[in-house]
Chains A and B, each alone.
Chain A
Amino acid sequence: MSAPLIWIFLPLIVGGLSLLITRERSATMIGGGTAIILAVAALLVPIDEALSLGSFSLKVASSFQILGRNLTLDSSEAPLLAILFGVTALWFFGAESVGVARRLTPFGLIIISLLVASIAVQPFLFAALLIELSVLAAVPLLSPLDQTPSRGVIRFLIYQTLGMPFILIAGWFSAGVEASPGDLALTIQSTMMLGLGFAFLLAVFPLYNWIPLLMEENSPYIVGFLLWLLPTVTSILGMSFLDRYAWLRTSEQVISALRVAGLLMVVTGGVWMAFQRHLGRMMAFAAVAETGFILLSLSLDPKMGLSIVFLLLLPRGLGLALWVLSLSILDSNTESLRFSSVQGLARTYPLATAGLIIAALSTAGFPLLAGFPPRLALWNSLAQSSLGISFWLLIGILGLATGAIRMLAVMVMADEKTAWTSKESLAQRGMLSIGMIGLFILGLFPQAANPILDKLPLMFQHLGH
């Protein structure tokens, strides 16, 4: 028994088999159940150590060899696995209430198993290939068989596919730079390749036009799942690069590039969100800004930056899940997600509206909500190095907050005679409540996640020590 068999091949097989499921409830139970079992197992089962259960002894090996290379998941990666599968379970359980469980469960499991494989593969450079495979697996998820593929899906595939070659070539160049650190031309070429690769994969400004298109044209819940999972794993790949190559993490130019790219994403994401008139597009720009926060964190002192990146993980996952769940409920009950269609829906869908506003405010770093502690830490650290940058961060955050307030204003703009009622189903109310309570708990007691988050930096040999 080895860890990759449990956390990569098992969800892959279950995902493949669950393509045969025809009932929403069964898909939810199998997908959510598998994800939660794998999350708990990541916390409880020791890797590379004997586990004794009475007279029975079991040892889970960390490596699995495939075609001459290793897939390795050691104990330092267990907290990340717990977070990834735990948050995925939340997404799967929520999927039934918006009627997308039969689509999300099989492909979601396949995608997460490929992305875990991308974290496990040695050498880590090959992760780009596995990320590309997960992008291919996301295509049937995003475009149902009875619909012509939308512009957003086509652009998503093109941009993500173009990112892979750049990352692979950059990895080869980086090894060359490490061997001859004085070669300036090689360093520049390597940095350019790496920058372009991550610009495509993380949808860095201005390559993010597919995100609002996808949100407008597809099921918000499914797009939200991908907007949470793909950038999270791609960021880990980026951190692996910084960890592996000393010349990268000590390069002033790389740090500046990360900072400028992150700031551009936060500012453009925030400001664009403030001016949108479509709830889906608003969330898309907020997701862009979220990725910007991660890039900004990576531009800080490595130890501090890494802590903030991991502090952003849970609020991002939970916030996006709540946001898209609320959007999906509204989407299935209105003509579209344009302001003109959703105006005044707070009186008929109060919980979905509350979920929407709370998730948006959390993204804007509103106090008492989950997004506040990491943004405060980020702002504080940035202010110590440059007041100008922290001012621009403020502009971005103000944009996000303005968007949230505009949303609130539109949603409550109902005829006074409209009676207050709650049209959400029981399952929807339950999932929305869990999401909102979760955001408050993480905002009020950010240290609650510390037992898991504290161990995450150990994944990285140099950044985390």
Chain B
Amino acid sequence: MIITIVSWTAIVILLITSTGLLLYRDWRWGLGFLAGQYAGVFWLVLQHWPLGMAAAKLVGGWMATASIGMTLLNLPQQPESIEKYWTQGRTFRLFMIGMAALLALAAASIIESILPGIGIPVVIGGVLLTSMGLLQLGMTTQILRVILGLLTTLSGFEILYAAMEGSVLVAALLVVINLGLGLVGAYWLTASSEEKAA
């Protein structure tokens, strides 16, 4: 019972953080939401993986977040912390978030029937993050948002895949990929800043 309540709490956390990731205008908030998102991912992955492997995912995600954060803090030319322009308005984004949440709810029972025993909260969490990540990727070409979108999409996939595959090698490689994406983000942010400085 407690586990179910915590799982649904994790879904709420994922909904809040992924919504925040789509709506944030200050990069500090964005990274905060990403770090919070990994806590929700950790709990849902823990339903199928042992604590050690799930914790590796959490730590890997936080390390990716930290690498981006440290880079942004140490850039010689700080990016504008508040974005001036949005290509799409807040209402449109909220509408799309609502659609993604509806999709996750609608798909949950279908996916649960394909993967029996996976658990409704795990399916909802996985589909929600995947669709939110794809939404993020479809809305922008801004480096930070692209990386956050990829990390979010992968997190959603990892929640679902944890129920299918329990290999330590897969867990390790997925952590390395998450970390790699974080480092690519850090590299690109540095590169674009250096060009601006030059």
Contacts and interface: CB of A to CB of B under 8 A. Distances in A.
Interface in B83-127: 114
B184 A126 contact: no
Contacts, number: 89
Interface string B149-179: 0100110010011001101111011101100
A50 B181 CA distance: 43
Interface residues of A, number: 33
Interface in A151-168: 151, 154, 157-158, 161-162, 164-165, 168
A230 interface: no
B169 A165 contact: no
Given A136-B184, A157-B150, A157-B184, A169 B164 contact: yes
Contacts of A147: 191, 195
Contacts of B192: 148-149
Counting chain A CB atoms within 10 Å of each CB, the highest count among B141, B167, B169 belongs to B169
A257 interface: no
Give the interface centre of A144, A148, A189 by most chain B CB atoms within 10 Å: A148
B180 interface: yes
SS class, residues of chain A in contact with chain B: helix
B141 A151 contact: yes
B173 A126 contact: yes
Contacts of B169: 66-69, 121, 126
A149 B198 contact: no
B12 interface: no
A236 B169 CA distance: 21
B146 interface: yes
Contacts of A165: 153-154, 157, 161
Interface stretch (A97-105, A127-135, A237-245, A303-311): A127-135
Contact of B167 (A126, A164, A186): A126
A130 B161 contact: no
A183 to B, nearest CB: 10
B114 A146 contact: no
B49 to A, nearest CB: 14
Nearest to B191: A145
Which of the four size classes fits the interface of chain B?
35 or more
Nearest to A137: B180
A140 interface: yes
A69 to B, nearest CB: 4
B119 to A, nearest CB: 17
B109 to A, nearest CB: 15
A445 B140 CA distance: 51
A154 B173 contact: no
Contacts of B176: 133
A69 B167 contact: yes
B191 A172 contact: no
A129 B153 CA distance: 15
Interface in B49-99: none
A121 B173 CA distance: 12
Contacts of A169: 157, 160-161, 164
B143 interface: yes
B194 interface: yes
Contacts of A69: 167, 169
Of A121, A133, A136, chain B has the most CB atoms within 10 Å of the CB of: A136
Contacts of A130: 173
Contacts of A148: 188, 191-192, 195-196
Contacts of B141: 151, 154
Nearest to A158: B137
Interface of A: 66-69, 121, 126, 129-130, 132-133, 136, 139-140, 143-149, 151, 154, 157-158, 161-162, 164-165, 168-169, 172, 186, 189
14 contacts: A68-B167, A69-B169, A129-B170, A132-B177, A136-B177, A144-B191, A146-B198, A147-B191, A148-B188, A149-B188, A154-B141, A158-B137, A161-B154, A172-B161
Given A139-B188, A158-B146, A186-B114, 11 more contacts: A129-B173, A129-B174, A130-B173, A136-B181, A145-B187, A146-B195, A149-B192, A162-B153, A165-B153, A169-B164, A189-B114
Question: What are the 3 tightest A-B residue pairs by CB atom distance, in nearest-first order?
Answer: A136-B180, A165-B157, A148-B192
